[in-house]
Amino acid sequence: MYRKSTKKILVTGATGQIGSELTLELRHKYGGENVIAAGHRRKPGERLVSSGPFEFIDVTKKDELEKIVKEYDIDTVYHLAAMLSATGEENPQQAWNVNMGSLYNVLEIAREHGLTRVFWPSSIAVFGPEAPRVKTPQNTVLIPKTMYGVTKVAGELLCNYYFLRYGVDVRSVRYPGIISSETPPGGGTTDYAVEIFYEAIKKKRYTCFLRADTVLPMMYMPDCIKAAINLMDADASRIKCRTSYNVAAISFSPAELVAEIKKHIPEFVCEYKPDFRQKIADSWPMTIDDCVAREDWGWNPEYDLASMTRDMIEKLKKRFAEGRL
Ligand SMILES: NC(=O)c1ccc[n+]([C@@H]2O[C@H](COP(=O)([O-])OP(=O)(O)OC[C@H]3O[C@@H](n4cnc5c(N)ncnc54)[C@H](O)[C@@H]3O)[C@@H](O)[C@H]2O)c1
């Protein structure tokens, strides 16, 4: 039987916060021409366009996705395109259409074209206030209060169904809030933990949209990328959970993050003006139990609050000095 020697990967949502960095890492690992970045509307960054193929597609349109899968002979999809928690609450109908419609399209294409593997990120937004908020376990009650969370729970069940019914090798992690210095986040409840660094460096002041004591689970981008790649590289026999794996890294409150930033920028001042996102944050876990991911495929994050803060400040200060912030 004919077998391709190299993976051909499609990344949807490639201009987003995670996609912009994950695409570059995948290109580094598999070769630029083997990783097709798919964006939507937003102008792609220079590195994304110069390091490999780039296409614009609307993931809610199956024919547009299918055209790229055929044209590039895609066998693996990292499906990141989505509407996040805060923007999803502003337009829940569109959040359902984008998040569920696109996942259904990707899974159907995986089934019809026999794709080798699909990665689709879920979120800690699957949990609601009924779930234990400390050390939230892998298997617990899932009653989210946002449309974003509803689409993530439904999405997890759909992934599990496509695996059981059709053998589609789809893999997923429940990401916490992702912190990164390259591409700003796209409208989530944990976005403060990125904005605060930009404002600390540019203005030495920040007004936080969550209360000072709101503890949420977070993860630094290198660990976020590591989780996706390690999960996708793992032997199929090790993937025992086909809904989505809890993955944890760091949990902290805005006040704790401010104290850490002040070690590097002592004059930094933070004020607090909670808005509608406070209610979303209050319905989410504070800490996550990820022992199942650690056991099954060896998940092990590297960054803690101190090392993440040091690295973020170093990277953003450099960009500020070069006039690129
Ligand atoms: N960033 C986080 O903190 C976080 C946490 C948990 C889960 N996740 C999940 O990770 C994935 C990526 O998140 P992100 O933070 O990079 O999000 P983002 O908002 O930065 O990027 C999402 C991308 O999806 C694209 N998109 C939206 N509608 C589209 C459409 N109809 N067709 C094609 N593309 C479309 C947007 O252009 C955007 O670039 C999402 O599934 C998200 O739910 C992210």
Condensed to tens digits (0 to 9), the pLDDT of residues 122-159 reads 999 999 999 999 999 999 999 999 999 999 999 999 99
Residues 72 and 189 in one domain: no
Choosing from 2, 30, 72, 148, the catalytic residue is 148
Mutate to test the pocket of ligand 1, among 11, 17, 195 (most ligand atoms within 8 A of CB): 17
The rounded Å distance from CA 186 to ligand 1 centre is: 7
The rounded Å distance from CA 268 to ligand 1 centre is: 30
Residues 159 and 15 in one domain: yes
Domain-embedded: residue 185: yes
Residues 128 and 268 in one domain: no
Residues 85 and 134 in one domain: yes
The rounded Å distance from CA 182 to ligand 1 centre is: 15
pLDDT tens-digit series, residues 292-316: 999 999 999 999 999 999 999 999 9
Mutate to test the pocket of ligand 1, among 175, 219, 225, 247 (most ligand atoms within 8 A of CB): 175
CATH classification at residue 71:
3.40.50.720
pLDDT tens-digit series, residues 33-65: 999 999 999 899 999 999 999 999 999 999 999
Q: Atom 37 in ligand 1: which residue has the minimum CA distance?
A: 40
Q: What's the domain count of the chain?
A: 2
pLDDT tens-digit series, residues 154-193: 999 999 999 999 999 999 999 999 999 999 998 999 999 9
- Sheet harboring 76-79: ordered strands across? 54-56, 35-39, 9-12, 76-79, 117-119, 170-171
| Phi, psi angle pair for 269, to nearest 5° | -125, 135
Residues 26 and 161 in one domain: yes
CATH classification at residue 201:
3.90.25
Residues 190 and 168 in one domain: no
Structure tokens at 296: 């099954």
Domain-embedded: residue 152: yes
Residues 162 and 183 in one domain: no
For residues 302 and 76, give the distance between their C-alpha atoms in angstroms, rounded to a whole number: 26
Domain-embedded: residue 244: no
Domain that holds residue 192: 178-218+249-321
Residues 164 and 184 in one domain: no
Q: Atom 20 in ligand 1: which residue has the minimum CA distance?
A: 16
Domain-embedded: residue 243: no
* pTM > 0.85: yes
Domain-embedded: residue 1: no
Which of ligand 1's atoms lies nearest the C-alpha of 183? 20
Q: Which helix (H) or strand (E) holds 47?
A: helix 46-50
For residues 146 and 206, give the distance between their C-alpha atoms in angstroms, rounded to a whole number: 26
Q: Atom 32 in ligand 1: which residue has the minimum CA distance?
A: 58
* Residue at token pair 């053998």: 167
Residues 95 and 195 in one domain: no
Residues 172 and 183 in one domain: no
Q: Report the pLDDT value the prediction gives residue 197, as an integer from 0 to 100.
A: 98
DSSP state letters, 59-96: TT-HHHHHHHHHHHT--EEEE-----HHHHHH-HHHHH
Residues 199 and 158 in one domain: no
| Phi, psi angle pair for 290, to nearest 5° | -115, 30
pLDDT at 3 over 70: no
Which of ligand 1's atoms lies nearest the C-alpha of 79? 41
Q: What residues pair up with 77 in beta bridges, in sequence order? A: 10, 118
Residues 165 and 81 in one domain: yes
> How would you label 46-85 residue by residue, b for 16+ Cβ within 10 Å and e otherwise?
eebeebbbbbebbbbebebbbebbeebebbbbbbbbbbbb
Q: Atom 26 in ligand 1: which residue has the minimum CA distance?
A: 81
- Residue 43 DSSP symbol: P
Residues with CB under 6 A from ligand 1: 12-13, 15-19, 40-42, 57-60, 80-84, 98, 121, 123, 175, 177-178, 185-186, 188, 190
* Residue at token pair 């990967």: 9
For residues 149 and 124, give the distance between their C-alpha atoms in angstroms, rounded to a whole number: 8
Domain-embedded: residue 53: yes
Domain-embedded: residue 122: yes
Q: Atom 11 in ligand 1: which residue has the minimum CA distance?
A: 80
Indicate if 148 belongs to the active site: yes
Pairing, β 170-171 against β 9-12 = unpaired
pLDDT at 324 over 50: yes
Domain-embedded: residue 66: yes
For residues 205 and 260, give the distance between their C-alpha atoms in angstroms, rounded to a whole number: 15
